[in-house]
Amino acid sequence: MKIISIINQKGGVGKTTTAINLSAQLAKTYKKKVLVIDLDPQANLTIVLSGGQFEFNSTIANVFDTPKTHSLIKSIIPAKTGESGVIENLFFCPSDIHLSKVIEQSLTKFQREQILLKQLEPLKNDFDIVILDCPPNMSLTSVNAMVASSFFLIPIDGGSFSLNGLADLLDALEEVKENEELNYAVFRNEYALSNRLINNYIDSELADIDGTYLKTKIRRSEAIGQASVTTQPLLSYQKTSNAINDYKDLAKEVLELINV
């Protein structure tokens, strides 16, 4: 089982849409059994992969709050869309707004940084890939994701400040992983070919990073946002979108890097 964190301290770069659409491609196109864990109290991924559901018997907040009585496996449910039902091979653990308060109260717990890692251990033979959708900050959930993950996927959007915080993020990853090899890949999200000045700048800045700079670029598409509004992955919402091929290529590159 390979554990991937989709992470960036900058908000709005497309972590959640990447988690949704990458996991859908891995599950449907590449037939991998995938678990997605929503670690963001905003729960946007949860709304999409639940087909618009808002209430759950158990969420990741319960797992962090009382891990001994609320194991992760009890919170895992099949992913579905509002119209086409269950998404084969795709499962997720929902989040909700209570996660913020739970994380604050967990700061004094013993081995608090390893809660998620310990909860994932019993599932190592149940899934091929686990994807962690991280919040845009260095909260306890992000640290738990860093500790648990063996690979980090970092989206960079097309804005002029898209590289802000990348160096700090990599420093934080190095600190958490300590003597372990840091495996990460950066890719361009919300890519617009017409933004040549910004594209050239970002490309030149990323050319010398120690991690992998992926060939795949996720093109800007209104269909991506529309799919989320209708609580569907893009693969279910608009099969003719150019971005579907981009996510398919992204999944292929990731699979090659993590050797699954």
Q: What is the mean pLDDT of residues 170-187?
A: 90
Q: DSSP secondary structure string, 157-213? A: -SSTTTTTTHHHHHHHHHHHHTTS---EEEEEEEE-TT-HHHHHHHHHHHTT-SSEE
Question: Residue 4's pLDDT is what?
Answer: 98
Taking the CA atoms of the chain, what radius of gyration do you get in angstroms?
Answer: 17
Question: Residue 241's pLDDT is what?
Answer: 87
Is the pLDDT at 161 greater than 80? The verdict is: no
pLDDT band at 179 (very low <50, low <70, confident <90, very high): confident
**What percent of the chain has a predicted confidence (pLDDT) above 70?**
98
Range(s) of the domain holding residue 161 = 2-258
Q: What is the DSSP letter of 6?
A: E
Q: What is the mean pLDDT of residues 151-169?
A: 86
Is the pLDDT at 198 greater than 70? The verdict is: yes
| Mean pLDDT lowest among 59-68, 137-146, 203-212 | 203-212
Average pLDDT taken over every residue of the chain: 91
List, in sequence order, every beta strand (DSSP E) within 42-107. 77-81, 85-93
How far are the Cα atoms of 13, 62, 163, 209, 243 from residue 201, in angstroms, in the given order?
17, 43, 10, 14, 23
Q: How many domains, in total, are found in the chain?
A: 1
Is the pLDDT at 257 greater than 90? The verdict is: yes
Q: Amino acid letter at 248?
A: K
CATH of the domain at 99: 3.40.50.300
Q: What is the mean pLDDT of residues 229-236?
A: 90
Overall residue count recorded for the chain in this entry: 260
Residue 156, SS3 per DSSP: strand
